[in-house]
Amino acid sequence: MNKPRAALLAIAVAAGLTLAGCNRAPSPEGASAPGAATPAGETADQFIARVNAELRAMQPEVSAAQWLSSTYITDDSQLLAAKYNERYLAQLNSWIEQARRFEGQQMSAETARAINLLKLGASMPPPRNPEHLAELTRIASKMEGTYGAGQYCTGEGDTRRCRQLGALEDVLRTSRDYDAQLDAWQGWHTIAQPMRTDYTRFVELVNEGARDLGFADAGEAWRSGYDMPAAELAAETDRLWGQVKPLYEQLHCYTRARMEARYPGRGTVDGGLLPAHLMGNMWQQDWGNLWDVLQPYPNAGDLDITGALEKNYQAALNERMVRENALIDSDRRADVAQAAQLDNAKRMNERAQDFYVSLGMPALPPSYWQKSQFIKPRDRNVVCHASAWDMSVSIDGQPDVRTKMCTRANEEDFTTIYHELGHVYYYLAYNGRPPLFQNGAHDGFHEAIGDTIVLAMTPQYLQSIGLVGEQTQTQESLVNSQMRMALAKVAFMPFGLMIDRWRWGVFDGSITPQNYNAAWWSLKAQYQGVAPATARGEEFFDAGAKYHVPGNTPYTRYFLSHVLQFQFYKALCDASGHTGPLYECSFYGNKAAGERFWAMLEKGSSQPWQQTLRELTGGEQMDAAPVLEYFAPLQTWLSRQNEGRSCGWTAPAAVQTATPTASR
C-alpha cells in the first residue's frame, strides 16, 4: 500500500482473528474438530484451549486459500477463498454462541480477555443466517478480485491500451502534465463503479452480522476493539487530530502555493482545495512523489532516494543485458527485465531486513525468500496492494511468513518494505502466544511497528547504506529532511481519519447509497482539503478505488499508527541513549532499543494496549506530542513561509452524518 500500505493480512475477507498464527502445531489429542459438539462440563478455560486448538487446525487452509485468491486471481481461486471464509465464519459464529454460556461466570482474566477478543475479532461480522453468510463471503471475494484485476483501457482494436494500477500510479508519480495525470486518475476510478451495488449489499450483510453479535452496526463493532467504550473512540481520534491539525494546515498552505505556481490557474479547486489528481498519489494520502515540486531547498542535501534506487536497478539490468545475446527477441528481453526486477526487489528486502537484524531480531526464515511475491508476475492478475502474511504453518521448524508486493525501484516502495517487515516481525515475536492472542495490542500497534523503523531512516542512515550522498547538516538540509518525512507522515493523517468516518456513516445509515460519493468527497474536503477537478456524481463509487474499502480493512488503525509510531520512536531513542533533537535519532544497530521493542512485540494482544504502551513508553495514553516535537523545526519554517498568505480552505456543504455512539 502505498503507505500506509497493507494491514495485518491485507485481505480483510479474513474475518478477523487476523489469521495471524505461526508455527502451527497439530491439535492436541482430545481437541474437538471444527463444528463438533460442545464437550459436556467444559469450563471456560477448557473452552478457550479448545478454540485455540481448532484455530490452529483451521487457519492454514484459510490462509492458503486467501493467498491463492490474491496472487492468482481467477473465478476458481475466488470460489475457494469464499468457501473457506464461509466455513471459517460459520465456525466463528459457533464459537461465539458457545461462549455465551460462560457469561457471568468466574474465570481467569486471560480467559475473559480471550472470549472478548473472540467476539470482537471479526472485521466482517458474520450473519447467523447460513445463506446470508455464503452471500457475504462471495461478495467479499468478488470485490477483492475486481479490485485486483482492475485496469483502465482506452482505444479500440490495434490501438487498444490497458493499464493497471501500477502503471497509472507511475503517471501520477512522475508526470507533471496536468491532463495526463487527470486521465490516469479518472481512469483508475472507473474500476470501482461496478462494485457499488455489491458494496451496498455487503453493508447490509455485515450490519446483520454485527446485530447478531449485539452491536448496533458494523461500525460500532469495529470501534469496540480498543479496550475502551466504543463511544469514546471517535472522541479520542478527534482529540489526537486536534493536536496535529495546525501542522497539517501549514503544510497544506505551503503546498497550495507551490501548486498554484506550478499549474497557474489550475493549481487549486474552488475554495482553496488541492486538486486530487495532482498530488502524486492516487488517493492523496502521501505527497512524497511531489518532491520535485515541494522541495524547499533544491541544493541542500541529496535526498533523491528514488533516483538512487532506479540507478541501481538500471545498472543491474544493463549488466544482465550485456551477458545476453544482443539479438535476443522481445520476449527474452522481457524475461531478463523481470529477473532484474526480482533481484532488485529482493535486495531492497534484504536492506530492510538488515535494520531489524541490527537490533538483535532474527533473520527472516528461508521460506520468506522462496514464497513471497516480490514483483508483479507477467502471466496473471494479482492484488498488487502491499501486504504481510502469516500463513499459520511452519516450514522446517520456522514460521511461514511472507509479503506480497509489486515492487518498483522508488522511495515509496522502499519504505513500504520496511513497513511490511514490521508486520512480519510482529508475527515472529508473538508466535509463541495462543492464536487468540496472536495480534497487535490493538490494530494501530501493528501498523506502527515498521513505520517506527522508517522514522529512524535518517539522512545519515540513508547515507550509510549508499542511497544518498554525503550529508552536511545545515538549516536548509534540516528543513529538506523534515519536509521529506512530513509529506509522508503529516499529509497522511487526515486521510487516515476520513475513510472510517465515511464507513461509520455508511454502516449506521447516516450516509445512504444515494449519497455515497457526495459524502466521500465532502469528508475528503473537510479533512484533507482536497477535491476532484471535475464533477463526480453518484454514477461513480470513488471510495471503492481505495483497496481497503472493497477489501473491508478498518482504517482508523492507520491514523492511530501515525501517532503511536512517534511515541514508539521517542521511547526507543531514549532506550538507545540518544541525546539531542528527536529528529536526529537513528537507533540502527542498538541492541538495547531492539530488546525493548521485541519485548513489546512478544506480548501480542495478551493484555490491554494501555499496559503494553506503558511498558514501552511509560504512559497509557496515545499522544501526538512527539509528532509535534519531531516536526518543530518544520512547523516554524512553514509558519514563516506562509506569512501573508490566506491559509485554510472552504469545503462544500457537508453531507450530514451522525456522531457514532455505542447503542446496544
Which of 426, 416, 451 lies closest to 565, judged by CA?
451
Which of 471, 459, 509, 464 lies closest to 210, judged by CA?
509
* Cα(94)–Cα(98) distance, integer angstroms: 6
* Cα(445)–Cα(271) distance, integer angstroms: 36
Q: Which of 15, 140, 386, 429 is catalytic?
A: 386
423 catalytically annotated: yes
Q: Which of 189, 385, 442, 562 is catalytic?
A: 385
Q: Which of 7, 192, 420, 588 is catalytic?
A: 420
Name the packing angle between helices 411-429 and 330-358 (round to 10°): 50
Q: Which of 252, 446, 548, 562 is catalytic?
A: 548
Which of 509, 488, 576, 533 lies closest to 3, judged by CA?
488
Backbone angles phi, psi at 394, to 5 degrees: -120, 150
* Cα(647)–Cα(248) distance, integer angstroms: 11
310 catalytically annotated: no
- 486: three-class secondary structure by DSSP: helix
Location of C-alpha cell 495462543 = 434
72 catalytically annotated: no
Name the packing angle between helices 305-323 and 411-429 (round to 10°): 90
Under a CB-based contact definition with an 8 Å cutoff, are residues 394 and 23 in contact?
A: yes
- 356: three-class secondary structure by DSSP: helix
Length of the chain: 664
* Cα(427)–Cα(387) distance, integer angstroms: 13
- Residue 513: CB atoms within 10 A of its CB come to 16
252 catalytically annotated: no
For residue 398, the cross-strand partners are 395
* Cα(75)–Cα(474) distance, integer angstroms: 57
Q: Which of 20, 447, 448, 516 is catalytic?
A: 447
* Cα(129)–Cα(85) distance, integer angstroms: 15
420 catalytically annotated: yes
Q: Which of 558, 569, 583, 630 is catalytic?
A: 558
132 catalytically annotated: no
DSSP, residue by residue, 503-560: HHHHHHTSS-GGGHHHHHHHHHHHHH-EE-SS---TT--GGGGSTTTTTT---HHHHH
558 catalytically annotated: yes
Q: Which of 277, 423, 446, 562 is catalytic?
A: 423
Q: Which of 189, 277, 419, 446 is catalytic?
A: 419
All cell numbers assigned to 388: 504481510
- 388: three-class secondary structure by DSSP: strand
- Residue 323: CB atoms within 10 A of its CB come to 8
C-alpha distances in angstroms, 129 versus 132, 204, 209, 224, 399? 5, 13, 9, 23, 35
DSSP, residue by residue, 494-519: HHHHHHHHHHHHHHHTSS-GGGHHHH
- Residue 27: CB atoms within 10 A of its CB come to 18
Which residues belong to the active site? 385-386, 419-420, 423, 447, 548, 558
